[in-house]
Structure 1
């Protein structure tokens, strides 16, 4: 059995400002660094065979904090990047609505069936991220693997591994440095933890 430890990156300034980050290369803010350190402490007792990260800085920085106590390297792969949102990136919801080039309200209500700038559709994102995930799984059979990525991409990965339709995309949320675990068993994939942020509690 392989086990995927799926982790969202720590907080950024754009997260705090509710701006769409997408493929923009933002950095962790001070709070995000502290979140990553707390997660790293939590994961110290675990044995990992590999650590993978999106090549965007906020995810890679988070992965480096996790890797340090284990004296491991972080493998960066672009397939784990966040959705590319094109001209929406760097804007708030209100600013995007004012663009009036895409139906943002429809996208919020039905993202799986609505076109958006940049990558264009959740299906295209799914094809990209799952190509990366499948390559990782082929390389690491029966191993524990850390994957540090982004909220939207991780949601799509989770839905895909569980065989769930992309229409469920809008029905759950992943917080910064949240931990989700999926077990890749011979007969099925099992979600054993979702959006756990207990390491951030006082």
Structure 2
């Protein structure tokens, strides 16, 4: 159940009473074949035409020959309106409304509407208000620039690699793209490849980059520094599971995607509380961004491989503290890098 929603307790006799009332009023209003579903007419396929009826494609029910079609439609309209009015009065009298739970359920997430924050993430529920209404934070989530291991394709993890020449050029282009959006702060993973990217972005915006340990890359444990081929040779079963069901994998000597996700979301919520109704840039890693965006989109970490994150791509999303929900504007945007080839 989402935050702010309500539970409705029904009287045990309300359903039977409503059915009888619908039947009675439907008969009085001249509406034939009316089902007990709030006055909603049945489809033509489920109605039987009376003897001598002339089938009309535009009519909601078959009409006898010579019957006034306009008058029938008016009766249908009158019956439906009367039904809805009476049912509203009855429902307001026999129902008691109680407030729902404070925290929304993560199972109510919808990909187009964002991610409900469940209490397991540890957020304290406090959010800023201005003039009595809640305000959102806009995030520009960036992946760091290219490194040597991006070309060689290795599990980078916590290995502290600097940007190469290509990565520096990508970071400068990203800084130029974000220079005039009105950033209030720039946070980054403490690892060099991310923090160096953040420093260039912050400099272009007249800010100072700040480290955010919650955005540290995933700990791949014994896989760190190895190529996919090496990992597949040493851990064939686990590597196959990583490709097919990454949410079920706990990296040997490291962490899991599920465990890391709580850390990433917690970091974002901290920043949102610090910078209400402002724009903030976060610079992190491919795996971090993928996992974080599954949360933003209301997906599980089993969707890890469905989200691409190119080097120095830009993602834009918002967090609404009033509803504990994220919404997305852009994903994996790299148009600002087009001139680099």
CA distance in 1, matches of 2:144, 2:199: 11
Asked if structure 2 preserves the Cα contact closer than 8 Å seen for 1:107 and 1:115, the reply is: no
CA distance in 2, matches of 1:15, 1:46: 29
- For residues 1-202 of structure 1, the aligned pairs below 5 Å read 1-100=136-235, 103-185=238-320, 186-187=322-323, 188-202=325-339
Q: Secondary structure of the residue that 2:183 maps to in structure 1?
A: coil
1:20-62 per-position Cα deviation (integer Å, ceiling 9, x unaligned): 1011101101100000011111112210111100000000000
**Which has the bigger relative contact order, CA under 8 A and spacing at least 6?**
1
Q: How many residues align?
A: 202
1:103-139 per-position Cα deviation (integer Å, ceiling 9, x unaligned): 1111111101122224331111112212211111111
Q: Secondary structure of the residue that 1:201 maps to in structure 2?
A: helix
Asked if structure 2 preserves the Cα contact closer than 8 Å seen for 1:39 and 1:177, the reply is: yes
Q: Secondary structure of the residue that 1:3 maps to in structure 2?
A: strand
Q: CA RMSD for the aligned pairs?
A: 1.4
Q: Secondary structure of the residue that 1:103 maps to in structure 2?
A: helix
Structure 1, gaps ≥5 residues long:
none
1:46-91 per-position Cα deviation (integer Å, ceiling 9, x unaligned): 1011110000000000001101122211110111011110111111
